[in-house]
Chains A and B, each alone.
Chain A
């Protein structure tokens, strides 16, 4: 069974600090996909990134970066120079690539990030 753990329930930082959100996953499949979504206070779910299990290259997009390490089953998300607009709940999610599981996203419980001015 697939599982995603986001151990940090809440994180509070001051603007311009760097912050890393942790995500640890469990799966028996060798092929799987990992995702991060952002849920701002307005409530919608915004897609941030998708990564497959064969691509361990780190990704950078502006102030956002992702560190995928299969050896530790982790897919961590770092925001550099955080801003108040980054305040949101961030979800890590996993989808396995075969059978009925490939139609399902298994979400972690989310990390509430508060960036204070």
Chain B
């Protein structure tokens, strides 16, 4: 089944404790992206990657890092999480010429205490 997977789905952590949210897709898509969803603000792009080793900032990159060492994986790294990074995070992938349809993972709900 074609899908985007994210792990973990739920995470509670404390301020300053580094964490990684993994994202993997099995559709051989070149493009992957991370979004965060917050009440009243909607969905905003954090980072995106056009292909292996090619990444760029979205609208709200502060406090986040990404890497794209393999085509299928695009982890989101929070080196020192803060409470304002409490959010619902979505990974997405798409193939073909942009702007192709982006398919989303199930979401990761993060709470930073």
Contacts and interface: CB of A to CB of B under 8 A. Distances in A.
Contacts of A35: 101
Contacts, number: 57
Given A43-B106, A103-B31, A110 B42 contact: yes
Given A107-B42, A109-B42, A50 B101 contact: yes
Main secondary structure of the interface of B (DSSP, over half): strand
B81 interface: no
Interface residues of B, number: 27
B45 interface: yes
Given A47-B103, A104-B48, A91 B42 contact: yes
Interface of B: 31, 33, 35, 40-45, 48, 50, 56, 58-59, 88, 90, 92, 98-99, 101-107, 109
7 contacts: A33-B99, A35-B101, A37-B104, A44-B107, A91-B42, A91-B43, A105-B102
